[in-house]
Amino acid sequence: MGFFSKIKRIWSGEAGTPPPESTELAPERDGQAVPESSLIKPSELDQTAPEASQEIWKSELRRLLQQTEPRLGAWLDLILNDVHQADQTLWDRLGFLLECLEVPPQEAQDFLSRFQSWLEDMDYERVEEFRSELQYRLALALDLEDEEDEHSRLFLKLSQGLNKTKEQLSRRIDSLVDSSSQFDEGFWEELEEILIMADVGFKTSTSLVERLKTRVREHRIEEAEAFKKAFREELGAMFPARPKRIKPEPPEVILMVGVNGVGKTTTIAKLAHRSQMQGHHVLIAAGDTFRAAAIEQLQIWAERVGAGFYAKQAKADPAAVAYEAVNYAREHGYDTLYVDTAGRLHTKVDLMDELKKVKRVLNKVHPGAPHRTMLVVDGTTGQNAISQTKLFHEGIGVDEIVLTKLDGTAKGGVVLGIAVEQGLPITFIGLGEKMEDLRPFNGEDFAQALLD
């Protein structure tokens, strides 16, 4: 049964929740909409009165939630109505929402405690400062990240992050299409040049142009709008899909690799945060023992997101850290382990040889590990990002890409070049510095945001 189908059962009384005592606040009566003036608003409910009054406001708020569209954003609009700061009213209403959604009491309390601790760490008090983070955390905890409301928020963020790339790529393509009377060889040559200049890469640009040529010919496309639609669809279809994986015996080990400066430390924190919100027990291991302060920085992030942390002294053997971290995860019941690694070495030892050693040791202590090797790449570096991907994939084998710093870069075309030239799926993209700004990547959304 789908999530929203379940919610309808809960709030219709089919799953043990009593139905409303009257139809006074129902969204329709005899097929007619009830005037808004007859609805009781959360701000009108007395939430500071004795226990009997507490039950009254809960009953009325439940009815309001029943009336609204079953959407996380709409529920939050009601819950946060006239709540301007993180006070007891906020915690009461959030707790009640989680109760209505049948979240187990312990999980609900854990969610609220984590969020309250985060607010204290960030020194946030006003709702406007943390509303988006709250919605993001709820979406992860309730498995609602794919719902339309969250999808729309992500698409808007993605579109904003690609504004500079649009100026370099989309507008030039629009100009070319609108000024061309036919799709001749001159048109295709200029289109290929535009793609290459946008850091899409020569191989990928050539492949995309050939796909478009075939489509235009087979579908006899002549209009500009039809071509743009075909362009979006072909662009989106070129991204490799993330493969389905069998869930491994815990702990699942994710090896994080990438050169220094790409945002690997904060990406690990954001991934750990996502995993925590999805109910996993996460451990972070500090395998970058060579870079100054790397261990301390990662420990601060681990504490901030509420994950476990394992480290040895500076300049310790990274493979030993990985080995011991797996055993530590087993002993302490962690089901997910993120292992950080060096981006460069201060010795004559080759980085790829060191990473291969870490992978061998992980497989020895936990057969099948690492279960995923994630390469973090800086999206602002253009062709250099493609070179890094090639180097790491050939050197140690990469399973998926996390592309960071896409917010405001003019080199967004590199997204396609990285994925296609190495045949690797991009699973996450970084659209800002907040925890909520690391989001799952969707090729079709990227193409639409870039070319709309």
Query: Could you count the other beta carbons within 10 Å of the beta carbon of residue 228?
Result: 18
Residue 55 has pLDDT above 80, yes or no: no
CA–CA dist 225, 48 (Å, integer): 58
Rounded to a whole number, what is the distance in angstroms from the first to the last CA of the chain? 35
Q: How far is CA 305 from CA 114, 308, 342, in A?
A: 9, 9, 22
For 222, the 3-state DSSP assignment is coil
* pLDDT for 241: 84
Using CA atoms of 320, 322, 323, 326 in order, give the dihedral in degrees to the nearest 10. 150
Give per-residue pLDDT as tens, 304-343: 899 999 999 999 999 999 999 999 999 999 999 999 999 8
Q: For the whole model, what pTM was predicted?
A: 0.75
Q: How far is CA 350 from CA 157, 342, 346, 376, in A?
A: 39, 11, 10, 19
CA–CA dist 41, 47 (Å, integer): 12
Residue 20 has pLDDT above 60, yes or no: no
Give per-residue pLDDT as tens, 183-201: 888 899 999 988 888 777 7
* pLDDT for 49: 47
Whole-number mean pLDDT of the chain? 82
Task: Give the pLDDT band of residue 121 (cuts 50, 70, 90).
Answer: confident
Query: Is residue 275 within 8 Å of 301, Cβ to Cβ?
Result: no
* Domain range list for the chain: 3-144, 252-442
* pLDDT for 14: 47
CATH fold for the domain made of 252-442: Rossmann fold (3.40.50)
* pLDDT for 347: 58
For 168, the 3-state DSSP assignment is helix
Task: Give the pLDDT band of residue 2 (cuts 50, 70, 90).
Answer: very low
Query: Is residue 281 within 8 Å of 335, Cβ to Cβ?
Result: yes
Which candidate, 443, 447, 39, places its Cα nearest to that of 242?
443
**Tokens, residue 120:** 């204290």
Instruction: Tell me the DSSP string of 325-364.
Output: HHHHHHHTT-SEEEE---SS-SSSS-HHHHHHHHHHHHHH
Which candidate, 136, 83, 426, 179, places its Cα nearest to that of 270?
136
CA–CA dist 279, 128 (Å, integer): 26
Query: Is residue 446 within 8 Å of 427, Cβ to Cβ?
Result: no
**Tokens, residue 213:** 């040529």
Which candidate, 445, 452, 401, 444, places its Cα nearest to that of 422?
401
CA–CA dist 294, 270 (Å, integer): 16
CA–CA dist 9, 412 (Å, integer): 44
Say if strands 32-33 and 28-29 run parallel, antiparallel, or are unpaired: antiparallel
Query: Is residue 308 within 8 Å of 285, Cβ to Cβ?
Result: no
Radius of gyration of the chain (CA): 25
Query: Could you count the other beta carbons within 10 Å of the beta carbon of residue 237?
Result: 11
Residue 296 has pLDDT above 60, yes or no: yes
